[in-house]
Structure 1
Amino acid sequence: MKLSKMILGTLREAPGETELESYKLMVRAGIIRKVASGIYNFMPTGKKVIGNVNNLIKNEMEKIDSQEIEVSQFVPFELLNQCNNKESSLTDTFETVDKSEKKFYVGADFKEPYIEIVKNEIKSYKQLPVSIYSIQKQIKDEPKPKFGIIKSKEFNELQCYVFHDDLTESSQYINSLCEVFNSIYHKCRIDSIKTNSLRFFIKHPLGEEHVVCCESCGYKEDLEIATCTLQTEEEDDMKPMNKISTPDTRTIDELASLFNTTPEYFVKTIIYKINNKIVAVMVRGDREVNETKVKNRIGHVVSFELADEETVRYATSAEIGFAGPINLKCDTLLVDEEITRMRNFMVGANDTGYHYECVNYERDFTGTVGDFKKITEKDKCPVCGNSINIENAMGLGQIMNLKTTYSENMNAVFLDKLGKSKPMSIINASINIDRLLALIVEQNHDKNGIVWPKSVAPYEVIVIAAVFKNEEQMKTAENIYNKLKSLGIDVLLDDRDERAGVKFKDADLIGAPIRITVGKRISDGKVEFKLRNNDNVEDIDIDDIEEKVLSELHRN
């Protein structure tokens, strides 16, 4: 492609909408253009990169004999109902009604269409295992788009499903998918982290997700899932419960200051409205509620929000800040397991201006016990008991063992060797490709622009004629361009009437792995050869260009 013919509006200044370097560089390099919040157009270079990433992924999927399909964006509501997706739970989807008043949904993360395809085609164990995948645009009503294409309303996504006949063989297929993911990230020069729950991340200071890491044993887990080592059970004698006056003392910090102690002595009760029911969650005073764990315990969450002031007053008969488990009006009380090991702690009394001291679980109240807290760096590794670190991160993808839950709901069954009907076991894997593209840039750039990995670069080589008005330079540059194209190399010719400095800056910004410059040494039969990932400039003979380029492109 000749740059003079391209729609490529490079920018000298970065947009000030975000701190994220990938967004700034992709806008400056003419890869994306913003349409509205969370919605972006991919320009020609961006479309080429997306295409290259897609091809890389397809090659990896073929290695595990996964078959590509394309799934309709329109999902009938009746199909979603098979897996108990109620209408009010589809908060991040778009709804449409056709002329016959049939309702459809458009959105991301629908598993039902993929399962329906295999359900209708696979009847016998002899046809299993089978793997299908799609790479296509997904649409999501993202309420808070952020960081450009990292968190947007529409994105290209890989969705892969493996259907097999035996739950005991799940690890075999999961390991194959992990190898595929690791290969994709390696070829994209992404330094990824794989957690125990099979989520993939990169560390990033601006990341809104977090990964718990133990350097001692190598434990890695998503903060929303990670557990921690429980403290030794306290053995103090239980003291009589006592109601005490705590006027104008609503927060844990205020209570700690009033009683000259630490937040660990208190237990807080947080009230939620979940599925239109009142759910209270108790954690130690210095802890945060892990809402993901709460949702997992409740199961099939349609709506989830902190209770409003009116609901809190109803549940506690008090103002906000005095909630506690005793005489609390709620549908479910979830009690973090840590609290059952405490003795003589303090809770709200459900009476404005009062708390109870010397409260003990079982004697004074009961509830559903489980792990409902967020792990902190004060905690110990749940595997080896050593110190942990919590790193900011951004998600890359995930692998989920769905087991037979969806197949049972949708009656996706097969006949086994004995002729008995059994539900299929299902594994799902996904990668947000737009996010992957942005994170490639996050980990592969310098002060001058993007440094694309060879596997996904929009162009493998850029050829520059230093002086537009020099006929010999222009003719030589075009000859090199044509020769490289004839070898199947993706090459860009900068034939614009611009100063050499402008061309060099744009070449660095666009980030092609190899730059060939036809300059003043053309009279000696020499051109400049430079790799984007280092500063060395080498003069080479024109006759050696093809061999030099091919050698570099084939190097790992």
Structure 2
Amino acid sequence: MKLSKMILGTLREVQGETELESYKLMVRAGIIRKVASGVYNFMPTGKKIINNVNSLIKNEMEKMDSQEIEVSQFVPFESLNQCNNKENNSTDTFEIVDKSQKKFYVGAGFKESYIEIMKNEIKSYKQLPVSIYSIQKRIKDETKPKFGIIKSKEFNELQCYVFYDDSVEAEQYVNRLCEVFNGIYHKCGIDFIKTNSLKFFIKHSLGEEGMACCEACEYKEDLEIAKCALREKEEDDMKPLNKISTPDTRTIDELASFFNTTPEYFVKTIIYKINNKIVAVMVRGDREVNETKVKSSMGYIVSFELADEDMVRYATSAEVGFAGPINLKCDTLLVDEEITRMRNFMVGANDTGYHYEYVNYERDFTGIVGDFKKITEKDKCPVCGNSIKIKSVMRLGEIANLETTYAENMNAVFLDKLGKNKPMSIIEASINVDRLLALIVEQNHDENGIVWPKSVAPYEVIVIAAVFKNEEQMKAAENIYNKLRSIGIDVLLDDRDERAGVKFKDADLIGVPIRITVGKKISDGKVEFKLRNNDNVEDINISDIEEKVLSELHKN
């Protein structure tokens, strides 16, 4: 491609929106252009990069004999009903109603579509295992789009599903998918972290997610599901329950100040409205409720939100700030396991201006016990007991074993060896390709621009004629360009009437891996050869260009 014919539009600087370098550099390099908040156009270089990443992903998927399909962007509402989504109130999906008043979800990427395909095609155990995948646009009503294409309303996504029979096979397919994901990330130049639950992240100071890491045993887990090591059970004698006046002390910090103690002495009760039911969650005063764990414990979730003030007043018969488990009107009480090991703690009394002290689990209240708290750096590793660190991360992708739950709900069955119906076991895997693209830039750039890995770069080589008006340089540059194209190299020719410095800046900004500059030494049969990822400039004979380029491109 000749740069003089390209829609490129490089910029020297970008105003605001986000402090992420990936967004700034992708806009400056003419890769993306903003349409609206969370909505972007991919320009010609951006489209080439997306195509390169998709091609890389497809090559890796083919290694595990996964077959590519294309799934309709329109998902009938009744299809979701098969999977207990009849009352789906998801706020991040787009809905439309056609002229016949038929309701669809659009571009949401529901797994039901993939299961429906296999449900109709797979009849016998002899057809299993089988893997299918697609790389398509997903549309999500992201309420707080952020960081450019890292968190946007539409994005390209890989979705892969493995359908299998024998549960013993699950581990081997999970491991195979891990190998595929490892291959994708390595070839994209990504330094990633895989958690114990098969989620893939990169470390990033601006990451909105967290990861608990133990350097001693290499335990790594998503903050939302990481478990905490339990402390020793307190053995103090139970004291008599006592109701005390606590005027104007609604928060844990206010209570700690009022009693001149620490938040660990208290237990707070947080009230939620889940599936239109009142659900109270109890955690220690210095803890935060882990809503992901709460959702997991509740099974299928239609709606999930904090209770409003009216619901809190109904449940507690008090003003907000005095909720507790004793005489609480709720449908479900979830009690963090840590609380069952405490003695003589304080809770709200469900009476404005009052709390109970010397409260003890089982004697004074009971509930459903489980792990409902977020891990912190004060906790110990749940595996080896050493200290942990919490790191900010951004998500790359994940692999999950859905087992037979969705297949059972959708009656996706096959005939086993005994001729009996059996639900399919399913493994799901996904990668947000647009986010992957941005995170490649986050980890591969310098002060001059993007440093694309060879596998995904928009062009493999850029040829620059230093002086536009020098006929010898221009002719030699075009000859090099044509020769490289003839041997299958994806090459860009900067034939613009611009100063050499401008051309060099744009080449660095765009991030093409190899730069060949035709300058004054062309009269001696030499050109400058430079790699984007280092500062060395080498003079090479023009006759050696093809061999040199192929050698560099074939290096790992």
- TM-score, normalised to structure 2's length? 0.99
Q: How far off its partner does 1:164 sit?
A: 0.6
The equivalent residue for 1:98 is: 98
Within-5 A mapping of 1:125-524: 125-524=125-524
Deviation string, structure 1 residues 473-510 (Cα, Å, up to 9, x no partner): 11100000000001111000000011111000000000
> Which residues of structure 2 form unaligned runs of 5+?
none
Matches of 2:332 and 2:375, distance apart in 1: 23
The range that moved more, 318-327 or 427-436, is 318-327
Q: How far off its partner does 1:107 sit?
A: 3.4
Matches of 2:55 and 2:534, distance apart in 1: 27
Q: How far off its partner does 1:109 sit?
A: 3.7
Q: How far off its partner does 1:146 sit?
A: 0.5
Deviation string, structure 1 residues 10-60 (Cα, Å, up to 9, x no partner): 000123110100000000000000001111000000000000000000000
The AA in structure 2 aligned to 1:314 is: Y
Matches of 1:435 and 1:373, distance apart in 2: 29
Q: How far off its partner does 1:272 sit?
A: 1.0
The count of residues paired between Structure 1 and Structure 2 equals: 556
Report the 3-state secondary structure (helix = DSSP H, G, I; strand = E; otherwise coil) of the residue aligned with 2:419.
coil
The range that moved more, 302-311 or 208-217, is 302-311
Within-5 A mapping of 1:102-117: 102-117=102-117
Matches of 2:167 and 2:447, distance apart in 1: 50
Runs of 4+ that moved beyond 3 A: none
The AA in structure 1 aligned to 2:450 is: I
The equivalent residue for 2:551 is: 551
Report the 3-state secondary structure (helix = DSSP H, G, I; strand = E; otherwise coil) of the residue aligned with 2:278.
strand
The AA in structure 2 aligned to 1:93 is: T
Report the 3-state secondary structure (helix = DSSP H, G, I; strand = E; otherwise coil) of the residue aligned with 2:240.
coil
Deviation string, structure 1 residues 176-234 (Cα, Å, up to 9, x no partner): 00000001000011011111111000000000001111111010000000001101110
Asked if the contact 1:15–1:27 (Cα under 8 Å) also holds between the matched residues in 2, the reply is: no
Matches of 2:67 and 2:349, distance apart in 1: 60
Matches of 1:88 and 1:490, distance apart in 2: 47
Matches of 1:471 and 1:126, distance apart in 2: 68
Q: How far off its partner does 1:90 sit?
A: 2.9
Asked if the contact 2:284–2:339 (Cα under 8 Å) also holds between the matched residues in 1, the reply is: yes
Matches of 2:449 and 2:219, distance apart in 1: 35
Matches of 2:472 and 2:506, distance apart in 1: 23
The AA in structure 1 aligned to 2:187 is: K
> Which residues of structure 1 form unaligned runs of 5+?
none
Q: How far off its partner does 1:410 sit?
A: 1.1
Q: How far off its partner does 1:249 sit?
A: 0.9
Asked if the contact 1:38–1:149 (Cα under 8 Å) also holds between the matched residues in 2, the reply is: yes
Matches of 2:88 and 2:197, distance apart in 1: 29
The range that moved more, 453-462 or 86-95, is 86-95
Matches of 1:460 and 1:87, distance apart in 2: 50
Matches of 2:89 and 2:302, distance apart in 1: 4
Asked if the contact 1:89–1:301 (Cα under 8 Å) also holds between the matched residues in 2, the reply is: no
Q: How far off its partner does 1:318 sit?
A: 1.3
Q: How far off its partner does 1:446 sit?
A: 0.3
Report the 3-state secondary structure (helix = DSSP H, G, I; strand = E; otherwise coil) of the residue aligned with 2:338.
helix
Deviation string, structure 1 residues 348-378 (Cα, Å, up to 9, x no partner): 1111111110000010011111100000001
Q: How far off its partner does 1:93 sit?
A: 1.0
The equivalent residue for 1:31 is: 31
The equivalent residue for 2:527 is: 527
Matches of 2:454 and 2:178, distance apart in 1: 23
Q: How far off its partner does 1:317 sit?
A: 1.4
Matches of 2:198 and 2:105, distance apart in 1: 29
Q: How far off its partner does 1:250 sit?
A: 1.1
Asked if the contact 1:94–1:105 (Cα under 8 Å) also holds between the matched residues in 2, the reply is: yes
Matches of 1:203 and 1:26, distance apart in 2: 20
% same residue: 87
Asked if the contact 1:243–1:354 (Cα under 8 Å) also holds between the matched residues in 2, the reply is: yes
Asked if the contact 1:324–1:349 (Cα under 8 Å) also holds between the matched residues in 2, the reply is: yes
Q: How far off its partner does 1:63 sit?
A: 0.4
The AA in structure 2 aligned to 1:209 is: E
Matches of 1:96 and 1:137, distance apart in 2: 17
The AA in structure 1 aligned to 2:236 is: D
Q: How far off its partner does 1:169 sit?
A: 1.2
Matches of 2:96 and 2:466, distance apart in 1: 55
Matches of 2:57 and 2:548, distance apart in 1: 28
The range that moved more, 104-113 or 401-410, is 104-113
Matches of 2:43 and 2:109, distance apart in 1: 26
Report the 3-state secondary structure (helix = DSSP H, G, I; strand = E; otherwise coil) of the residue aligned with 1:169.
helix
Q: How far off its partner does 1:303 sit?
A: 1.3
The range that moved more, 177-186 or 89-98, is 89-98
Q: How far off its partner does 1:108 sit?
A: 2.6
The AA in structure 2 aligned to 1:96 is: I
Asked if the contact 1:92–1:107 (Cα under 8 Å) also holds between the matched residues in 2, the reply is: no
